[in-house]
Structure 1
Amino acid sequence: MKKLLGLLILAFILISATISTVAPAPFHSIEGTWELQSFYNYDDGVNISDTVPTSDGYRQVKMYYNGKIMWSRHAPKDSLDWFGYGTYKITADSLIERLEYGSAPMMSALDTLRVFRFELELTEDTYSQISYDEEGNRTFSENYKRID
């Protein structure tokens, strides 16, 4: 009886150790520097209806580090400066940016909205921040490539 009890306890310990060492699949880090490559439009809230590459000379760069975000945009046909700074948080499938300050045009926009919530598709070298409407349907996305 003692041997059977000992074997059961040993089996329980081995099974418990195996179960506790199985970790959930990790998701990639968004920390780093990213450059905008294109936009997707969704016409039905699910499927991509159009891909729009960035125009010549247009650059938008985002930097994520230690819970902070900074981004800037240069558009040759736009005389306004666009940049912003704030904090961010990600989960396996969402990105939340909370902007604290930015350029004058951005501060005008921030009067109405400071927290930006996106669906997130993140790989090691790319990510898409997908905007959605109040019903949860995808509307458009910004698609980035890691540059550092």
Structure 2
Amino acid sequence: MKKIFGLILLMLILVSATNWSSPPPEMLHSIEGTWELDSFYSYDGQDITDTIEKSEGYRQVKMYSKGKIMWTRYVPDDPHGRFGYGSYRITEGELIEVIEYGDDAMMKALDTMRNFTFELILKENSFSQITLDEEGERTSSENYVRID
């Protein structure tokens, strides 16, 4: 009888030590990686009104890693490339970039604005950073595809 009681007690201890939680939630997509600009959208406040493709030779790449962002842009008709570096964070539906330094034109722009907040639509292999006006209406977006 003592053996049966001991076995029952041992089984209860083992069962109580088992994790009875629900399965972990589905992982959200990560913005970490390298992305290339694919297109631009224009909005009428909420809906897309126009898609603007990149011009021939135009390239813009963003890299996100461990809370840091680096972006670069090349425009064939502009002899000066553009770049910026800073930090980023993602909140519920928002991408917030804080640019710390960049090329000469970027440094001049940073005198007036360093924090950039966008509505974020993030998928596994694409994302859109949507610019909002003062009333929170969509005005335009940059649309990226994952390249790494």
Tell me, yes or no, whether TM beats 0.5: yes
Counterpart residue type for residue 116 of structure 1? F
Task: In structure 1, list runs of 5 or more residues that go unmatched.
Answer: 1-12
Superposed CA offset, 1:106-129 (max 9, x none): 011111000000000011100000
CA–CA separation in structure 1 for the residues paired with 2:24 and 2:95: 23
Instruction: Answer whether contact 1:71 1:85 (CA < 8 A) is retained.
Output: yes
CA–CA separation in structure 2 for the residues paired with 1:122 and 1:54: 20
TM superposition score normalised by structure 1: 0.83
Match of 2:29 in 1: 28
Match of 2:91 in 1: 91
Identity %: 60
**Higher mean C-alpha deviation, range 22-31 or range 83-92:** 22-31
**How do 1:68-79 residues align onto structure 2 when only pairs under 5 Å count?**
68-79=68-79
Match of 1:61 in 2: 61
Counterpart residue type for residue 120 of structure 1? L
CA–CA separation in structure 2 for the residues paired with 1:22 and 1:110: 45
**Root-mean-square deviation (CA), in Å?**
1.5
Superposed CA offset, 1:54-92 (max 9, x none): 111000000000100000000011223210000000134
Asked which structure has the greater CA Rg, the reply is: 2
CA–CA separation in structure 1 for the residues paired with 2:37 and 2:66: 21
Match of 1:139 in 2: 139
User: Size of the alignment, in residue pairs?
Assistant: 131
Counterpart residue type for residue 34 of structure 2? T
Counterpart residue type for residue 128 of structure 1? S
Match of 1:103 in 2: 103
Instruction: Answer whether contact 1:27 1:92 (CA < 8 A) is retained.
Output: no
Q: Give secondary structure in 1 for the equivalent of 2:109.
A: helix
Counterpart residue type for residue 127 of structure 2? Y
